[in-house]
Amino acid sequence: SMRSLGVAYSEKGDVDQALPLLKKSFELLEQTLGPEHPYTLTSMSKLALCYLRRDSLDLALPLYKKALERKAKVFGLEHRDTLNTMHNIATTYYMQRNYTAANDTTVEALEIVSGLPDLSASQQDLLRSHASNLLALKKYSEAEPVIRKWLEVDESMTDKTWLVHYMRFLLGHSLCGQQKYDLAAPFLQDAFSGIASQRKKIPRLMERRVIESLADLMRLYRDHGMPEEAAKWGRRLPVNKPKSKPKSQMQNTPALEKGRE
């Protein structure tokens, strides 16, 4: 189908091929099935995700917000699709460097899933985002227990070992922010090597977040008067930088150098 082809292009990173297909599919479904039909809502989210992958954040965010409003009405706030959309809104805010809004959205979603065992997977995704938001806000001592809570559940995962390594890297980052360098060192060293070994398995949006997390750690070392440590990590980037974007997109997208899918 048109939507399936668009999704396939989007997942491969060929957003220029994907966008017209996903836009047309969404428009047709909205006209034929109505704006609140589950197929229409799924199509809307796929289109928003494609905008997100293209760094068209000003187009992704309002579409996600509209999808959230409709999903909350159709499915309810405690439905997995609704919570995933809240998570995607938080991710979009994060990519806009609006970390306060990202964290507020994540906390709101976490309050909804709290105590709901059927939504444990959604809770883990939200905890990961919450930790990243807190680190971006330099709330290192608050981030540490959030990361440890995530690791208690998912540290034994075998299908996403890169994600476990990444969360252990964030734990080291949070300890560095509290100037607990001796405690941080083994987490950072082991996690960094693990991320490098799993680099081909890291999704495109998360690849960018890994790069930016490393850049944040380098700045943290520099700010604490440890330029040699900052330089050491800078020489060991574990993943490739995303391809350069068209000039038309550059003014509306966050620079990778500052750090941060």
Instruction: Tell me if 77 sits within 8 A of 94, measured CB to CB.
Output: no
What mean pLDDT is predicted for residues 168-181? 93
- Kindly state whether residue 254 falls inside one of the protein's structural domains: yes
Residue 157 has pLDDT above 80, yes or no: no
Instruction: Tell me if 213 sits within 8 A of 173, measured CB to CB.
Output: yes
According to the model, what pLDDT value does residue 240 have? 46
Specify the pTM. 0.81
209: alpha, beta or left? (left if phi > 0; alpha if psi -120 to 50): alpha
Which of 56-60, 162-166, 192-196 ranks highest by mean pLDDT? 56-60
DSSP 11-45: HHT-HHHHHHHHHHHHHHHHHHT-TTSHHHHHHHH
Secondary structure of residue 4 in the 3-state scheme: helix
Residue 242 has pLDDT above 70, yes or no: no
According to the model, what pLDDT value does residue 251 have? 34
According to the model, what pLDDT value does residue 189 have? 85
Dist. CA 147–CA 128, nearest whole Å? 7
Q: How far is CA 235 from the centre of its chain?
A: 24
What value does the mean pLDDT of the chain take? 83
According to the model, what pLDDT value does residue 206 have? 81
Count of domains for the chain: 1
When computed from its CA atoms, the radius of gyration of the chain, rounded to whole angstroms, is 19
According to the model, what pLDDT value does residue 256 have? 24
**What percentage of the chain exceeds 70 in pLDDT?**
82
Domain that holds residue 182: 138-261
According to the model, what pLDDT value does residue 20 have? 87
90-113 pLDDT, tens digit per residue, is 999 999 999 999 999 999 999 999
- Kindly state whether residue 74 falls inside one of the protein's structural domains: no
Reference 103, options 131, 84, 73, 72; nearest CA is 131
- Kindly state whether residue 105 falls inside one of the protein's structural domains: no
Q: With residue 133 as reference, give the H or E element that holds it.
A: helix 120-136
According to the model, what pLDDT value does residue 260 have? 30
Dist. CA 246–CA 243, nearest whole Å? 10
Dist. CA 120–CA 110, nearest whole Å? 10
**Confidence bin at 200 (pLDDT 50/70/90):** confident
Residue 258 has pLDDT above 60, yes or no: no
Beta-carbon contacts of 31 under 8 Å, excluding residues fewer than 6 positions away, are none
Dist. CA 33–CA 214, nearest whole Å? 45
- Kindly state whether residue 20 falls inside one of the protein's structural domains: no
Instruction: Tell me if 47 sits within 8 A of 63, measured CB to CB.
Output: yes
Residue 45 has pLDDT above 80, yes or no: yes
- Kindly state whether residue 228 falls inside one of the protein's structural domains: yes
- Kindly state whether residue 213 falls inside one of the protein's structural domains: yes
Task: Return the minimum-mean-pLDDT range out of 55-64, 114-123, 129-138.
Answer: 114-123
- Kindly state whether residue 76 falls inside one of the protein's structural domains: no
Residue 44 has pLDDT above 80, yes or no: yes
- Kindly state whether residue 43 falls inside one of the protein's structural domains: no
What mean pLDDT is predicted for residues 52-72? 95
Comparing 58 with 256, the larger pLDDT belongs to: 58
According to the model, what pLDDT value does residue 244 have? 40
Identity of the residue numbered 141: S
